[in-house]
Amino acid sequence: MNGTRLIQSSLRTLVRFKLRSFFMSIGVALGVATLIAGASVGGGAAQKISAQIDQMFGPGTILVGSRELKLADLQAIAAQMDQIVAYSPNLRLGEREIQFAGSSEQVSISGLSANGDYVWNRSVIDGRFISDRDVDRAERIALIGTKLKEALFGDADAIGEEVMIDAVPFEVVGILAPLGIDPHGDDRDMDVYVPITAAQRRLANTDVIGNGKLVVSNVENVDQDADRVAEILRDRFAIAEGEPETFRIYTSKFAGKAAIKAKRMLGIYVNLAAVVVLLVAAVVISSIMLVVVRERIAEIGLRKALGATRRSIAIQFLCESTMVSLVAGVVGIGLGLGVASIVAQRYDIPMNLTPLAVSLAVLASVMVGILSGIIPARRAASLDPVEALR
């Protein structure tokens, strides 16, 4: 039988027995939808996370953290390494109380230097950033996030107002550009930034900075540069050979790798679930096809009497199961795209569907169709025409 006629008659059988076709296709459609939605949402989420990481870390940056870390350590590193183009401390004071006119909030407060807007990628949309003069004089000035501004001041202007941080008065001089929720789940629009020196002397009474970020000139060499930074810090902290480090060091590459790994793990689980669904779908199609073969024994006998070979009977049933599965796969791609676009809209994730994912989905449905058709097709082909026509 020629190909076009085979496909035509398979599609007609599919349309003729709508309910049966529905039950046969539902598994494949769901499995393929899972694959497509997983690929699209997973890809989009990875894109969003790496964009967020780039925004937080910036490309080509080294993060160092230690309870002993002082500003002098960053200065010494920058003095010894030409490839460090900028550095900035970030003293995290953790949750503190901020008050204004009777309303109060628990917020995380950090101390930054004047170049913090560039190094930490945090600018103001209103007012001004911290200046070198603020840092030199440990000025009691503060930058606040947009949500915190709303919580404390509502619609009123916040610039120039005095807020109390742990009972110390600070003047609000700037409103931070909105960032949203970071991957840790912290709302970055509730942040408060003060000059690093003010955080050290007026709020924490310490001379350590806790965290620092170094920007390197060449993104490619960031891992080697991080090794050199570690060497300098071991030396300055007098850590003997073989002793464990008392500081932490990360590069933007490392953070990117973590995100990629997380995405890969998620992808593996989603795909595994889809494969299980597709295998179950294959079993369902296979058992329904076996019933179909039994129902159509007379037809098979007739076709054999009229000259159909074992091969052409087998191909006919393989074609039927494959067409059901293929049509279901196409429906599943649509379904998966629908789910993906709802998720994308709801969680503000870009849609990311590659042609490769679509072709894999089509291939998967064809494979399921062929796989599930093998046993029924063999049974149909091996029927004895004399028995079948009785």
Partner 1 sequence: MIKIRNLCKSFQRPGEALLKVLHEVDFSVDEGEFVAIVGPSGSGKTTLMNILGLLDRPDSGEYELHGKSVAQLSPEERAKVRNEAIGFVFQQFHLLPRTTATENVELPMLYSTRSDADIRGLAREALCRVGLEERLSHYPSELSGGQQQRVAIARAIVNDPAVILADEPTGNLDQKSGRQIIDLFRELNRNGSTILLITHDHAIANEASRVVRIDDGQLTETITRVAS
CA–CA dist 174, 248 (Å, integer): 31
The binder of partner 1 chosen from 299, 343, 362, 375 (CB under 8 A)? 299
Based on the shown chain and the rule CB under 8 A, indicate whether residue 1 belongs to the binding site for partner 1.
Answer: yes
Of 119, 83, 59, 89, give the one whose Cα is nearest residue 228.
83
The binder of partner 1 chosen from 303, 329, 336, 353 (CB under 8 A)? 303
Stretch that binds partner 1, among 36-44, 108-116, 229-237, 303-311 (CB under 8 A): 303-311
Based on the shown chain and the rule CB under 8 A, indicate whether residue 307 belongs to the binding site for partner 1.
Answer: yes
Based on the shown chain and the rule CB under 8 A, indicate whether residue 389 belongs to the binding site for partner 1.
Answer: yes
The binder of partner 1 chosen from 168, 272, 298, 363 (CB under 8 A)? 298
- Counting every residue, how long is the chain? 390
CA–CA dist 265, 262 (Å, integer): 5
**Least distance to partner 1 from the beta carbon of 291, Å?**
17
Based on the shown chain and the rule CB under 8 A, indicate whether residue 291 belongs to the binding site for partner 1.
Answer: no
Q: Which 9-38 positions form the footprint of partner 1 (CB under 8 A)?
A: 16
Residue 5: is it exposed, middle or buried by C-beta count within 10 angstroms (0-12/13-18/19+)? exposed
**Helices 252-295 and 222-236 meet at what angle, rounded to 10?**
130
Size of the site for partner 1 (CB under 8 A): 21
The binder of partner 1 chosen from 305, 338, 342, 363 (CB under 8 A)? 305
Of 196, 275, 279, 212, give the one whose Cα is nearest residue 249.
212
Q: How far is CA 259 from CA 102, 197, 265, 369, in A?
A: 42, 34, 10, 36
CB 325 within 8 A of CB 365: yes
The binder of partner 1 chosen from 302, 366, 370, 374 (CB under 8 A)? 302
CA–CA dist 92, 131 (Å, integer): 19
Q: Which 308-347 positions form the footprint of partner 1 (CB under 8 A)?
A: 308-312
Based on the shown chain and the rule CB under 8 A, indicate whether residue 144 belongs to the binding site for partner 1.
Answer: no
Residue whose CB is less far from partner 1, 307 or 355? 307
Residue whose CB is less far from partner 1, 46 or 313? 313
Q: Which residue has the tokens 């087998």?
A: 314
Residues forming contacts to partner 1 in the complex (CB under 8 A) are 1-2, 5, 16, 298-299, 301-312, 385-386, 389
